[in-house]
């Protein structure tokens, strides 16, 4: 709820912005688009943290253990695997075994490679989908597809859809936050866009700094100078509004200034980690040797703070400098070592921290890249894009920790068992938040558009 | 005149006959008549089928491929022999005895060439796949008879185009309604007022009072030109009591260049206008701003809307294109550039799928922008709600696939054309001169003998047609030899620079003789521009070879499935483009090749393009295909005296009748002395040629469409390009008669007065921009999923008037803004009881008061610039680079532009798809992915934050404050008043003045002095008031 400030500006009555009908939002400008809305059915998860592994992590080097690759290492994949689809770089090398060692972890016995020592400690909290597929071999189309369910540019991102369907519990912070680790993925900001939904639903990109958002810091020297302005604005706006007999658009615009003023305070408070204990900071790795671990640790910690504040959808992007994201067309060992070192400890800490603060059950975590990588080499020491079968995992509210569903073929090339597509991931995410993906629609272009288009099956195997 | 299907002919219209025929032979009927005999199997076959095959089919396939499935996927039934024999969308599922040709096997093996792996969730076990293969090898013995469908269960909704056509309002013809009677005659100013008032009176409502003059003036300025009136303009208008005071204002605004700049922005929203392609590297769309300027010019020139539609759809095909009034270039062709403003990715692994995606976007823009139809919905299935079939969709797709993208040289002032004419005249003089000289053979004989090499022409140039030189293994396939001496059938050129060379003597501007049987872009000198395109063909070989004589900086490319991004990034398309130094043959005739990745595209459709964009030249002799390298070049043998004499005799014979031959041309091209001799003999002519070329300004290109090879398009079954079905010709929608024709015919159909959509859609858009809501609120969707018109008669009256006034958009705008309806106040008449309003019309559909509207982001910025005295009133030209903040990073980022965009109007700021202006996005400027005639109207805290804290708002407030502070002439209150008038369009009351003054004093105290800081505070405050960024 808004805090009133002492002077006149804060004293205006807050318009009732809570009542909300999910009609064509273009036609109901006076209602706050982010007001919380009821889900279709009760759900455990309230918020989402989407851990976006930009570039496409190699599933056969992380979570999808394939002993056959050792057996066929160095062989011609055309002979061993058979018919291969065109690859992005058209430089198919030999079958390449994983350079990392795989072990089983926890009671669930999940196979996890030595790239993720910290995450292995919470293996039983993770539910793996090992048969995810995408439709695109190019980064941008695959990124748009992962985020929006459509390979073209300019469609609403899943965070925008969640906001449209559910609003957010906190009106003083954006409801769809992207904590930028340093890399904007190929395809750019449109991965986090609102598409044909009202622009209010677009993701707010937080930079890793004290003033993470544009225009969130007042430009006036003192608070008083700004408050004097806001007071005069309010006075004249109300006068105008009265002269028009109470105009809903004007009224909504007036109350936006109240919220905006509050946001100027809420955001810096969010970013201030001084209240966190040293132990917490250490858990996440804010003291890590590797700078990128520190960056991602801070992102994860801020994600938890956003969840605490009721922000609906949080997405984390990767820090730069790890060998062009997870996109190891060459230098697989160095690149994946760095990428994993960046995210492993912070993500494990995030899970542990959410559990001890009681937020794990109300938070859905999703870890995914836009596609996986080929089980054969590109050149000698890289892997090309592979949308035909890869691994994503989920954890948290409503998710059956320790579960695993689906499988790729013995090489990890194509999903052959319980094949899922991105639409299924979206349907499941919405389901876990209490939203029926077939019912959350927006009329555009003569159609009732959905995040899942005309597709989407809930992945029941990962539900608790 | 086209035959619209509502023009009821006594004869059954053709399309209806077609539909009836299809219905007669529909699968449903077929199933009824195809009675099946019992099928007998041997015991062994039966045992194998029952134990191995049937269980697989039942367990894994019947869910989606049986007669009683909830939905039958891909139209395929696998619960009877008849089912898999007949097959589904892609044809028979099983070819008995031939598992390799059986689609079923491809599906279960997850090979994913044509159809995706089946069953979709999980692959069958290896032994199950082996059993199916064995069964098919056995001949697929199958005892299952056809299952007769229960007719009651199979009444699937038929796609009935005719019924939809006849039942939906927007397909009904426009009839001009009579003006309705109203009670309050006095209020009426124009015809449209009667329709509005009649509706109000019918609901017991009455119009609002007339707006105050300053309020109306601010409204009309912001609506028509997107800029506020100045204090002087306000006082002049307020003082003007003449009868036509309002008309004078409207007419002057419509005449202003600012008008086109405001209204072009609305049109660009529909055209998903952007200056980059987005996706990974955000490459620049060539010459995009030329299209933007074209739109502004067209709107300012009040080009009739039907003409504008023609220009967009077929500006390249108009027999008499519209010319720029001063610079005399072809305006019409620029309109076609809209087709190519789509997003684009580089290096798609599936180039045909890439094309299908782009065409989907192009059809979406076409359908919504011009017709208010969601045609693109019919890509995968017949439209779920509207009278549009999948075949309609692919017929439009055929139009696009039959077209090619060109870089069109506007040829300002027709400079190049005139130069060509001048030069051609001089060359003709020279050619005659040479002929005359050859009547005295000794002169020629001496010249040649003195200068020519005693060497024969190389083998590669010795033939004129029908054979490839040095091809003992018969490995080359000849594509083109230009042996007719004219542009071969199916080939096309743009920009005029290419000449077809036959056996007539042709002298080139460099004094050499043109090689007979070539296409040459250097005849008139290297300043000319020209493009040469081959007909569309299917790639069958790995390499394409050209025998050319070329400079550097020609572009030679093979355009595969209309993919145009190779110039930016060669990944996956390496070897489909030669450019830069790659085309330089260093003065020789040489073979050059396209190759590299072509083998990937065997079977794809493509065309060749040779582009000379100036300062370069190329002559092309022949084009061959092969799987290996280019043909070998053999050096010509030495000629003995006799042979030499024979060649010279032949040359003289040819020259005497003003003809040439390849040996002679070859000698002239490789022997500088011969060219020099000709130049010396015709010095005057060559000097004129030189000066004609020197005067030419650099070429100016636009992106445009041109006709390619007209081809039928495949219907992609269920939208899948890997699954092509029947072919359809380029034609218009069935509902518009569906006659096969050109894009020009398509444009004619659209703008035929009988077309019920085009005029309704455009007047509704104009209404939408003036009142905030269209008469049909869903401005881009006039289909059954859109909203119906709130006042159908008003819409039809406006559409009729629009057509009667020659589709003049300015006339339509003028008639609307001079109406009493538009002149109302923004609050209901005080005498109207609230209860009456809430009961009769709570959403102001009948416009009993003028709606309040928030300004577009662009208008907010332009208005701030104007008020702060920072508006740069330059028109047209290249865009100012986007100001990039630290929050705007990512691949393809360009250098940042200035914070204030050099004060240029917002329409002249760059639009980079991956780096959209955040201020505009906050205020709902749409993302340019598709047509959006109606912006969302959000009202969110981010807008308050932008106006409170955005650096540009602060900067302009400070500039304005500084100006006012430094102005010593006025007293404090006068200064305040002038600021309020500039920002809000009307003078403050005394009480308001007092409040402003108090604010200034308070801020002065806080700052320690009432100086420019306090004035800037006031400026900033005025920008944040609703009276500023809303309009009444």
DSSP track, B772-838: SS-SSSSTT--STTSPPPSSHHHHHHHHHHHHHTTT-HHHHHHHHHTSTTTTB-SS--TTS-HHHHH
- The pLDDT tens digits for B180-215 are 999 999 999 999 999 999 999 999 999 999 999 999
Same domain membership, residue A448 and residue A309: yes
pLDDT of residue B819: 98
Query: If you average pLDDT over every residue of chain B, what do you get?
Result: 90
Measured CA distances, A278 to A273, A282, B730, B814 (Å): 10, 6, 70, 70
Output the DSSP codes for B77-99: --SSHHHHHH-BTTB-S--TT-G
Where does a domain end: A237, A253, A271? A271
Could you tell me the pLDDT band of residue A31, with boundaries at 50, 70 and 90? low
| Distance between A250 CA and the closest CA of chain B, angstroms | 7
> Half-sphere exposure of residue B179, counting CA atoms within 13 Å on the CB side?
11
pLDDT of residue B63: 86
Look at B852 and A250 and tell me if their CB atoms are within 8 Å.
yes
Residue A229, domain member (yes or no): yes
Could you tell me the pLDDT band of residue B470, with boundaries at 50, 70 and 90? low
Could you tell me the pLDDT band of residue B462, with boundaries at 50, 70 and 90? low
- The pLDDT tens digits for A98-140 are 999 999 999 999 999 999 999 999 999 999 999 999 999 999 9
| pLDDT > 50? residue B27 | no
Chain A hits for B575, Cβ within 8 Å: none
Query: Which of A394-398, B436-440, B749-753 bottoms out in mean pLDDT, i.e. has the lowest?
Result: B436-440
Over the range A387-400, which residues count as b (16 or more CB within 10 Å of their CB) and which as e?
A: bbbbbbbbbbbbbb
Chain B hits for A226, Cβ within 8 Å: 948
| Distance between B13 CA and the closest CA of chain A, angstroms | 29
Same domain membership, residue A251 and residue A132: no
Contact assessment for residue B400 and residue B741, using Cβ atoms and an 8 Å cutoff: no
CATH code for residues B414-698: 2.60.120.260
Furthest-apart CA pair in chain A: how many Å? 82
Query: Which of B256-260, B595-599, B751-755, B800-804 bottoms out in mean pLDDT, i.e. has the lowest?
Result: B595-599
Same domain membership, residue A259 and residue A154: no
Look at A216 and B945 and tell me if their CB atoms are within 8 Å.
yes
Strand spans (E) along B674-779:
701-707, 713-716, 724-728
Using a CB–CB cutoff of 8 Å, tell me whether A89 touches chain B: yes
The DSSP H or E segment spanning B577 is strand B577-578
Residue A184, domain member (yes or no): yes
pLDDT of residue A2: 28
- The pLDDT tens digits for A297-334 are 999 999 999 999 999 999 999 998 887 899 999 999 99
| pLDDT > 60? residue B22 | no
pLDDT of residue A15: 29
Predicted ipTM of the assembly: 0.85
Among B912, B966, B810, which residue's Cα sits nearest to residue B303? B810
Other C-beta atoms closer than 10 Å to the C-beta of B325 total 9
Measured CA distances, B372 to A128, B160, B763, B921 (Å): 46, 20, 12, 25
Q: Write out residues 168-197 of A within 8 Å (CB-CB) of B.
A: 184-190, 193-197
Look at A233 and B1021 and tell me if their CB atoms are within 8 Å.
yes
Output the DSSP codes for A101-160: -EEEETTTTEEEETT-HHHHHTGGG-EEEEEEE-S-SSHHHHHHHHHHSSSSSSPPPHHH
Same domain membership, residue A315 and residue A205: yes
- Cα B131 vs. chain centroid, distance in angstroms? 51
Q: Could you give the dihedral angle defined by the CA atoms of residues B4, B7, B9 and B15, in that order, rounded to the nearest 10 degrees?
A: 30
Instruction: Nearest by CB to A257, from B786, B924, B944: name it.
Output: B944
Average pLDDT estimate for A236-260:
90
DSSP-derived secondary structure letter, A245: T
Contact assessment for residue B374 and residue B943, using Cβ atoms and an 8 Å cutoff: no
Helix (H, G, I), strand (E, B) or coil at B399: helix
> Count of domains in chain A?
2
pLDDT of residue B500: 97
Give residue A304's domain range: 35-210+278-462
Cα three-residue angle B741-B746-B752, rounded to 5 degrees: 125
Instruction: Nearest by CB to A256, from B781, B940, B1002: name it.
Output: B940
Q: Which two tokens stand for residue A384?
A: 């090309």
Among B373, B388, B371, which residue's Cα sits nearest to residue B759? B371
Could you tell me the pLDDT band of residue A88, with boundaries at 50, 70 and 90? confident
Measured CA distances, B472 to A253, B115, B192, B476, B631 (Å): 82, 43, 80, 10, 10
Other C-beta atoms closer than 10 Å to the C-beta of B496 total 17
pLDDT of residue B156: 41
Look at A225 and B918 and tell me if their CB atoms are within 8 Å.
no
Same domain membership, residue A303 and residue A356: yes
Using a CB–CB cutoff of 8 Å, tell me whether A456 touches chain B: no
Chain B hits for A205, Cβ within 8 Å: 887
Residue A155, domain member (yes or no): yes
Domain ranges of chain B: 36-145, 168-176+183-255+757-836, 303-410+700-755, 414-698, 949-1031
Look at B938 and A33 and tell me if their CB atoms are within 8 Å.
yes
| pLDDT > 70? residue B47 | yes
Helix (H, G, I), strand (E, B) or coil at A381: coil
Same domain membership, residue A222 and residue A195: no
Strand spans (E) along B834-923:
853-854
> Half-sphere exposure of residue B694, counting CA atoms within 13 Å on the CB side?
6
Other C-beta atoms closer than 10 Å to the C-beta of B271 total 22
Measured distance CA(A193)–CA(A212) in Å, rounded: 18
Could you tell me the pLDDT band of residue B469, with boundaries at 50, 70 and 90? low
Query: Which of A193-202, B32-41, B488-497, B811-820 bottoms out in mean pLDDT, i.e. has the lowest?
Result: B32-41
Measured distance CA(B332)–CA(B324) in Å, rounded: 9
Residue B558: what are its φ and ψ, rounded to 5°?
-105, 120
Look at A228 and B1002 and tell me if their CB atoms are within 8 Å.
yes
Residue keyed to tokens 């808004």:
A2
Q: Which long-range contacts (CB under 8 A, 24 or more apart) does B917-920 make?
A: B917/B857, B917/B882, B917/B883, B918/A214, B918/B885, B918/B887, B918/B888, B918/B946, B919/B857, B919/B861, B919/B946, B919/B950, B919/B952, B920/B857, B920/B858, B920/B861
Contact assessment for residue B405 and residue B386, using Cβ atoms and an 8 Å cutoff: no
Look at B891 and A184 and tell me if their CB atoms are within 8 Å.
yes
Could you tell me the pLDDT band of residue B459, with boundaries at 50, 70 and 90? low
Could you tell me the pLDDT band of residue B39, with boundaries at 50, 70 and 90? low
- The pLDDT tens digits for B871-918 are 999 999 999 999 999 888 888 999 999 999 999 999 999 999 999 999
Look at A249 and B852 and tell me if their CB atoms are within 8 Å.
yes
- The pLDDT tens digits for B696-730 are 999 999 999 999 999 999 999 888 888 888 999 99
Measured distance CA(A13)–CA(B607) in Å, rounded: 68
Could you tell me the pLDDT band of residue B634, with boundaries at 50, 70 and 90? low
Instruction: Nearest by CB to B1025, from A137, A237, A243: name it.
Output: A237
Could you tell me the pLDDT band of residue A205, with boundaries at 50, 70 and 90? confident
Using a CB–CB cutoff of 8 Å, tell me whether A404 touches chain B: no
pLDDT of residue B155: 39
pLDDT of residue B468: 59
pLDDT of residue B6: 39
Same domain membership, residue A199 and residue A93: yes
Contact assessment for residue B910 and residue B882, using Cβ atoms and an 8 Å cutoff: yes
Instruction: Nearest by CB to A153, from B343, B376, B946: name it.
Output: B343
Strand spans (E) along B313-466:
403-409
| pLDDT > 70? residue B291 | yes
Any idea what the CATH number is for the domain that residue A143 is in?
A: 3.40.720
Look at B944 and A260 and tell me if their CB atoms are within 8 Å.
yes
Contact assessment for residue A365 and residue A396, using Cβ atoms and an 8 Å cutoff: yes
Residue A1, domain member (yes or no): no
Measured distance CA(B789)–CA(B152) in Å, rounded: 38
Same domain membership, residue A148 and residue A289: yes
pTM greater than the 0.95 cutoff: no
Q: Which two tokens stand for residue B948?
A: 């409170």
Alpha helices in B203-287 (DSSP H): 213-224, 231-239, 245-255, 257-270
- The pLDDT tens digits for B96-119 are 999 988 989 988 988 766 677 898
Residue A29, domain member (yes or no): no
Could you tell me the pLDDT band of residue B34, with boundaries at 50, 70 and 90? very low
pLDDT of residue B650: 92
């Amino acid at each position: 709820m808004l805090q009133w400030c002492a002077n006149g500006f804060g004293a205006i009555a807050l318009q009732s912005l809570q009542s909300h009908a999910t009609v064509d939002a273009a036609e109901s400008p006076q209602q706050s688009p982010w007001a919380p809305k009821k889900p279709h059915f009760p759900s455990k998860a309230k918020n989402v943290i989407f851990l976006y592994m930009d570039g496409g992590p190699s599933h056969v080097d992380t979570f999808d253990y394939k002993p056959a690759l050792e057996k066929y290492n160095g062989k011609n994949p055309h002979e061993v695997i058979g018919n291969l689809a065109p690859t992005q770089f058209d430089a198919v090398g030999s079958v390449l075994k994983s350079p990392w060692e795989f072990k089983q972890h926890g009671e669930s016995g999940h196979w996890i490679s030595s790239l993720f020592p910290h995450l292995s400690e919470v293996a039983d909290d993770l539910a793996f989908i090992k048969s995810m597929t995408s439709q695109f071999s190019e980064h941008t189309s695959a990124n748009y597809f992962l985020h929006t369910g459509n390979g073209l540019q300019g469609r609403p991102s899943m965070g925008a859809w969640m906001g449209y369907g559910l609003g957010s519990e906190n009106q003083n912070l954006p409801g769809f936050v992207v904590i930028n680790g340093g890399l904007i993925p190929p395809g750019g900001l449109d991965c986090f866009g609102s598409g044909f939904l009202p622009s209010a639903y677009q993701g707010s990109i937080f930079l890793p700094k004290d003033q993470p958002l544009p225009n969130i810091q007042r430009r006036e020297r003192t608070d008083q100078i700004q408050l004097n302005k806001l007071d005069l604005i309010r006075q004249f706006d109300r006068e105008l509004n009265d002269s028009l007999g109470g105009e809903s658009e004007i009224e909504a615009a007036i109350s936006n200034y109240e919220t905006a003023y509050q946001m100027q305070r809420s955001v810096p408070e969010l970013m201030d980690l001084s209240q966190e204990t040293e132990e917490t900071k250490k858990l996440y790795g804010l003291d890590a040797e590797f700078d990128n671990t520190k960056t991602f640790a801070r992102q994860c910690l801020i994600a938890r703070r956003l969840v605490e504040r009721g922000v609906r959808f949080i997405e984390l992007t990767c820090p730069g400098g790890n060998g062009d994201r997870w996109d190891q067309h060459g230098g697989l060992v160095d690149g994946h070592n760095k990428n994993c070192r960046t995210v492993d400890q912070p993500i494990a800490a995030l899970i542990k921290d959410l559990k001890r603060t009681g937020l794990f059950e109300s938070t859905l975590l999703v870890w995914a890249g836009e596609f996986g990588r080929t089980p054969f080499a590109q050149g000698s020491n890289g892997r090309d894009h592979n949308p035909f079968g890869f691994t994503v995992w989920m954890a948290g509210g409503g998710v059956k920790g320790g579960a695993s569903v689906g499988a790729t073929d013995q090489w990890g090339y194509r999903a052959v068992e319980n094949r899922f597509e991105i639409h299924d991931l979206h349907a499941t995410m919405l389901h876990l938040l209490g939203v029926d993906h077939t019912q959350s629609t927006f009329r555009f272009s003569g159609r009732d558009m959905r995040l899942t288009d005309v597709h989407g099956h809930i992945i029941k195997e990962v539900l608790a | 005149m086209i035959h619209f299907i509502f023009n009821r002919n006594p004869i059954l219209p053709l399309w209806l006959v077609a539909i009836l025929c299809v219905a007669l032979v529909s699968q449903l009927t077929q199933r009824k008549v195809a009675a099946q005999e019992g099928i007998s199997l041997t015991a062994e076959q039966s045992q194998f089928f029952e134990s191995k095959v049937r269980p697989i089919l039942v367990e894994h396939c019947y869910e989606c491929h049986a007669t009683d499935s909830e939905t039958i996927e891909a139209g395929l039934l696998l619960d009877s022999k008849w089912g898999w024999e007949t097959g589904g969308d892609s044809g028979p599922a099983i070819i008995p005895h031939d598992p390799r040709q059986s689609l079923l096997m491809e599906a279960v093996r997850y090979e994913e060439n044509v159809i995706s792996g089946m069953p979709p969730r999980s692959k069958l076990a290896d032994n199950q796949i082996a059993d199916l293969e064995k069964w098919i090898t056995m001949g697929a013995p199958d005892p299952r008879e056809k299952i007769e469908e229960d007719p009651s269960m199979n009444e699937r909704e038929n796609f009935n185009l005719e019924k939809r056509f006849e039942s939906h309002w927007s397909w009904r013809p426009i009839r001009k309604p009579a003006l309705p009677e109203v009670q309050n005659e006095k209020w009426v100013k124009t015809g449209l007022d009667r329709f509005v008032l009649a509706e109000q009176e019918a609901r017991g409502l009455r119009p609002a009072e007339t707006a105050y003059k300053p309020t109306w003036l601010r409204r009309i300025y912001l609506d028509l030109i997107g800029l506020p009136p100045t204090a002087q303009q306000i006082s002049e208008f307020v003082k003007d009591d003449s009868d036509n005071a309002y008309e004078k204002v409207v007419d002057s605004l419509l005449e202003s260049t600012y008008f086109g700049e405001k209204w072009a922005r609305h049109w660009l929203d529909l055209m998903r206008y952007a200056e980059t392609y987005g996706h990974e590297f955000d490459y620049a769309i060539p010459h995009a701003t030329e299209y933007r300027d074209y739109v502004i010019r067209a709107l300012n020139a009040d080009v009739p809307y039907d003409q504008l539609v023609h220009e967009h759809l077929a500006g390249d095909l108009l027999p008499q294109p519209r010319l720029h009034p001063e610079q005399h270039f072809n305006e019409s062709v620029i309109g076609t550039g809209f087709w190519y403003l789509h997003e684009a990715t580089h290096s798609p692994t599936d180039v045909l799928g890439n094309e299908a995606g782009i065409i989907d976007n192009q059809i979406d823009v076409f359908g919504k922008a011009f017709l208010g139809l969601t045609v693109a919905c019919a890509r995968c299935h017949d439209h779920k709600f509207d009278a549009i079939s999948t075949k309609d969709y692919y017929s439009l797709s055929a139009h696009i696939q039959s077209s090619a993208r060109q870089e069109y040289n506007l040829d300002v002032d027709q400079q190049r054309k005139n130069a060509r004419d001048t030069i051609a005249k001089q060359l003709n003089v020279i050619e005659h001169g040479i002929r005359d000289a050859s009547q005295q053979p000794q002169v020629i004989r001496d010249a040649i003998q003195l200068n020519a090499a005693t060497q024969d022409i190389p083998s590669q140039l010795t033939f004129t047609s029908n054979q490839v030189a040095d091809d003992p293994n018969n490995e080359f396939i000849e594509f083109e030899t230009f042996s007719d001496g004219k542009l071969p059938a199916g080939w096309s050129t743009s920009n005029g620079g290419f000449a077809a060379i036959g056996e007539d003597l042709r002298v080139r501007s460099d004094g050499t003789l043109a090689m007979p049987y070539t296409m040459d872009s250097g005849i008139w000198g290297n300043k000319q521009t020209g493009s040469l395109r081959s007909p569309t063909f299917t790639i069958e070989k790995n390499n394409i070879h050209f025998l050319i004589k070329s400079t550097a900086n020609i572009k030679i490319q093979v355009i595969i499935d209309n993919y145009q991004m190779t110039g930016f990034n060669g990944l996956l398309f390496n070897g489909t483009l030669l450019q830069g130094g790659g085309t330089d043959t260093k003065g020789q005739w040489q073979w050059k090749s396209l190759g590299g990745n072509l083998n990937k595209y065997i079977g794809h459709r493509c065309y060749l393009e040779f582009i000379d964009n100036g300062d370069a030249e190329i002559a092309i002799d022949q084009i061959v295909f092969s799987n290996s390298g280019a043909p070998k070049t053999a050096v010509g043998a030495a000629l003995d005296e006799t042979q030499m004499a024979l060649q010279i005799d032949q040359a003289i014979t040819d020259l005497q009748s003003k003809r040439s031959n390849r040996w002679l041309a070859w000698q002239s091209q490789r022997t500088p002395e011969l060219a020099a001799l000709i130049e010396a003999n015709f010095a005057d002519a060559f000097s004129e040629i030189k000066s004609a070329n020197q005067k030419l300004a650099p070429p100016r290109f636009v992106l445009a469409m041109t006709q390619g090879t007209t081809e039928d398009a495949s219907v992609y079954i269920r939208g899948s390009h890997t699954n092509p079905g029947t072919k359809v010709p380029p034609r218009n929608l069935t509902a518009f008669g569906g006659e096969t024709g050109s894009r020009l015919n398509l444009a004619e159909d659209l703008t035929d007065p009988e077309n019920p959509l085009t005029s309704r859609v455009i007047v509704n858009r104009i209404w939408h921009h003036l009142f905030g809501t269209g008469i049909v609120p869903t401005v881009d969707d006039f289909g059954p999923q859109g909203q119906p018109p709130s006042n159908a008669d008003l819409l039809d009256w406006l559409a009729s008037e629009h057509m009667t006034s020659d589709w003049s958009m300015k006339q339509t705008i003028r008639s609307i803004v001079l109406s009493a309806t538009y002149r109302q106040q923004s609050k209901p008449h005080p005498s109207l009881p609230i209860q009456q309003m809430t009961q009769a019309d709570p959403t102001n559909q009948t416009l009993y008061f003028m709606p309040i509207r928030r300004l577009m982001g662009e208008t907010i910025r332009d208005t701030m610039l104007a008020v702060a005295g920072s508006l740069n009133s330059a028109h047209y030209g290249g865009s100012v680079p986007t100001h990039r903040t630290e929050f705007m990073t990512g691949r393809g980022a360009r250098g940042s532009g200035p914070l204030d965009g050099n004060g240029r109007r917002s329409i002249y700021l760059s639009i980079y798809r991956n780096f959209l202006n955040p201020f505009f996005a906050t205020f709902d400027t749409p993302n340019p992915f598709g047509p959006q005639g109606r912006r969302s109207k959000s009202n969110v805290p981010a807008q308050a934050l932008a106006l409170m804290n955005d650096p540009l708002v602060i900067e302009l407030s400070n500039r304005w404050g500084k100006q006012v502070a430094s102005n010593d002439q006025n007293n404090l209150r006068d200064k305040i008043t002038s600021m309020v008038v500039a920002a809000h369009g009307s003078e403050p009351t005394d009480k308001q003045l007092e409040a402003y003054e108090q604010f200034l004093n308070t801020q002065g105290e806080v700052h320690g002095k009432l100086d420019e800081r306090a004035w800037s505070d006031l400026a900033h405050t005025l920008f944040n008031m609703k009276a500023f960024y809303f309009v009444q």
